[in-house]
A = this chain, B = another copy of it.
Amino acid sequence: MDKKVFGVDIGGTTIKMGMFSSDGELVDKWEIPTRTEDNGSNILPDIAASITRKREELSVSKDEVAGIGISVPGPVDDNGIVHKCVNLGWGVFDIDEEMKKYTGVPVFAGNDANAAALGEVWKGGGKGYKNAVVVTLGTGVGGGIIVNGKILSGSSGAGGEIGHILVNHNETEKCGCGNKGCLEQYASATGIAKIAKKKLKEDDRPSVMRNARSINGKVVFDAVKAGDELAVEVAEEFGRVLGIGLSIVADVVNPEIFVIGGGVSRAGQIVIDYIEKNYNEYVFHASRGTKFALATLGNDAGIYGSAKMVLDGVGS
């Protein structure tokens, strides 16, 4: 029976939604705004109403829906309990149960970084691998760990929070999490820009980066490709810190592949080159030679992974 599956990815400003066939083909995708007012109490009803409208538009009956997968920008445990989601105004509650009330179909929720990881392993850069770590280099550094094809959520939904691994004991500035010296202070889009600005300030060698209106990962790696000396040093520093961070992740979970996504990864293979050589220098010998690949689903990874959570959940 070819049932349909809905994948929903809740972000701070928009909610991405997709309808999939049961073999994972994306049939349609669309977005609605995220209404965070009133402690985010409109979010789930808005999603339910939008799914109903889409069903009607595409003549899909409720009985044809296998389930709805939802990715949430905060920790969600294996029982579908959201452990607070500050961006949405949410406290602790059972999102699977709550959403089921509005829709009457099975609901499977997970953390957004974990869902995106599952999406990339299902249909993206990690396709075909059962043990993978998907790393998202965006405003922060997010991680999703897949073990034997399943998301490793952890006991309170905080599995894969690799952006907060301590990599610099001497850092004096605080990370958003309150600690100092976290991986994401150096390897995120914000982090790489900060490394570059510091270098441009402290060093008076010429650099094409000085002409940029604002510094970001793209500016840095474009300059690296143009042979800019200072940019190469920034990329080295970024690659060293991230290579160390991922070597530590491999010492714990020993994946077959790292899939690198997020804004910074848009610079392409060159980003992986800088990470990989440092990774192999620092990792325990038994994990040397782990594969690296770029993520390929971009902003759709979350809806793919959410749909896959339904297929895994219904099947299991």
> Is A71 part of the binding interface, using a Cβ–Cβ cutoff of 8 Å?
no
B252 and A159 form a contact (CB under 8 A): yes
Q: Which chain B residues lie closer than 8 Å to A177 at the CB level? A: 284-285
At the interface, yes or no: A197 with Cβ under 8 Å from chain B?
Answer: no
Q: How large is the interface on A (under 10, 10 to 19, 20 to 34, 35 or more residues)?
A: 35 or more
Does A121 have its Cβ within 8 Å of any Cβ on chain B?
no
What mask results when residues 196 to 217 of chain A are scored 1 for a CB within 8 Å of chain B, else 0?
A: 0000000000000000000000
Do most interface residues of chain A lie in helix, strand or loop, or is the interface mixed?
A: loop
Alpha-carbon distance between A136 and B114 when the two chains are bound, in angstroms: 29
User: 1/0 contact trace for A127-145 toward B, CB 8 Å?
Assistant: 0000100000000000101
Q: How far is the CB of A239 from chain B (nearest CB, A)?
A: 15
Please name all residues of chain B whose beta carbon is closer than 8 Å to the beta carbon of A274 when the two chains form the complex: none
Contact of A244 among B143, B166, B244 (CB under 8 A): B166
Tell yes or no: A251 within 8 A of B by CB: yes
Residues of A within 8 A of B (CB): 75, 78, 83, 131, 143, 145, 147-148, 152-162, 164-166, 169, 177-179, 244, 247-256, 282, 284-287, 290
